[in-house]
Amino acid sequence: MLKSELGTTPRTDETPDLIRIEADVPDDLSETAHTRLLATLTSTNVRFGHDLTADKKSVFWVELDQREP
């Protein structure tokens, strides 16, 4: 989902409790792609966000809980 909407390769970090997926947001991301990505993420049961790194890069992230319910 992140790769198809953002056109960048996601990075994954896995711990016993969660999987975190991050992808850089391209400067030229269209409003349509941004809206579609947010609509998809809000329709799921995952934590997600949008951060600005120290070097001013924009990053979308998603966290998937691996703990048993």
Residue 68, pLDDT score: 63
Given strand 18-24, what is the order of strands in its sheet? 11-14, 18-24, 58-65, 47-52
Tens of pLDDT, residue by residue over 8-60, are 889 999 999 999 999 998 888 889 988 988 888 888 888 999 899 899 899 99
Tens of pLDDT, residue by residue over 15-28, are 999 999 999 988 88
Residue 54, pLDDT score: 92
Q: pTM for this structure?
A: 0.78
Provide the H-helix boundaries in 1-69: 2-6, 31-42
Distance between CA atoms of residues 65 and 47, nearest Å: 9
